[in-house]
A and B are shown apart, each in its own frame.
Chain A
């Protein structure tokens, strides 16, 4: 397969066919794990890993899987990688694994992973399937990071746990007229509003093209 075609496989899910902004998949986790950047980054990497490798293996056995057990076979492959990620996080990043709680396990039912397996991996050879899965995960990841960054900066005044809005700007008892964090940002609805706005911006840009 030529390099050009492989490049299209990789680039297409990043913007033109972005899984969150265009296909509107994988929203559950996009909203729940974007309160701060480190959490969003962990989730982005985990999902990229799972999507890439599960696509690869689904594609590897695509000619041998009977149609009737396809879904269960795919779910089994996906859950193997999700369990790997889950155990890895528990062993090396225990705090992070506690913060993410059930959302690591829920990567199994993340629509992106299943969607890539169903719409791409079961039709194409392993290498393009791997690239496609990887970039679907990365496309999901950067949207997660944008939302996470906005929520962390405006919600806590920090970025990657480093304070970027200086303490001296904040309102105190003696100066109640200064800056305060936006209390809505760490909460659920803010994620919906931000995602709605991102979809709007993405639509606007692609309409102009």
Chain B
């Protein structure tokens, strides 16, 4: 339940795997919308990256508990209900947990650190519909990670997303001075560059560090 066959070394492997090899943005294509919309400046990209990493990690942990104690097959056995399978409710509970957590986070940050709130303000509600978060939770449940592997996986996914958006933002800042064909300006060139970055990440495919 907590560790299964994973050792510290294989957890480290899983961590590297989820940041670089199977980067949630460049390998699984999740969280594209906010990545495309908010990668104009490094500063905003950084702020959004921090927020996403935080929400993905804590949302991932909460949803692990939801899956293992409420919605997974046989998860209700602690109530004596072995035969009840609530897996059809999984999606709606997951998204409510994420939305609720974002809402609470907004209140807490506003209360304790108004400066951080001002910096993140606009992006916080956006995070609810960032598919990287729901996606990471769903991937983690589909692969049936135990608690610590799940923790490492969601943290790695968040950091990987952060890395990818900051990479893109730094390129886009330089791109302002380049001479791009008129029709490709804006989104077109961003897609092509993302493709090129994804290709470089592909050089790492086939490395399997996540097996215990």
A79: Cβ under 8 A from any B Cβ: yes
Q: Digitize A65-92: 1 where CB-to-B-CB distance is under 8 Å, 0 elsewhere.
A: 0000001100110011011001100000
Q: How many residues of B contact A (CB 8 A)?
A: 46
B182: Cβ under 8 A from any A Cβ: yes
Closest to B181 in A: A200
Assuming A24-B36, A192-B198, is B191 touching A111 (CB within 8 A)?
no
Of the candidates A27, A72, A189, A196, the one whose C-beta lies within 8 Å of that of B202 is A189
Closest to B102 in A: A71
CB interface residues, B 133-148, toward A, < 8 Å: 133-135, 138-139, 142
Assuming A27-B36, A102-B139, is B30 touching A193 (CB within 8 A)?
no
Q: Please, how many angstroms separate the alpha-carbon atoms of A184 and B129 in the complex?
A: 30
Minimum CB–CB distance for A64 against chain B, Å: 20
A106: Cβ under 8 A from any B Cβ: yes
Of the candidates B125, B142, B189, B192, the one whose C-beta lies within 8 Å of that of A71 is B125
Assuming A192-B198, A193-B195, is B30 touching A106 (CB within 8 A)?
yes
Q: Digitize B109-152: 1 where CB-to-A-CB distance is under 8 Å, 0 elsewhere.
A: 00000000000000001001111011100110010000000000
Could you tell me if A71 and B95 are in contact, using CB atoms closer than 8 angstroms?
Answer: no
Could you tell me if B96 and A72 are in contact, using CB atoms closer than 8 angstroms?
Answer: yes
Q: Please, how many angstroms separate the alpha-carbon atoms of A111 and B126 in the complex?
A: 10
Contacts of B89 in A (CB 8 A): 83
Sample of 14 A–B contacts (CB below 8 Å): A28-B31, A79-B91, A79-B92, A102-B142, A105-B134, A105-B138, A106-B30, A108-B134, A189-B195, A189-B202, A191-B29, A196-B195, A199-B184, A199-B191
**Which residues of A does B touch, CB under 8 Å?**
24-29, 31-32, 71-72, 75-76, 79-80, 82-83, 86-87, 101-102, 105-106, 108-111, 114, 187-193, 195-197, 199-201, 203-204, 207
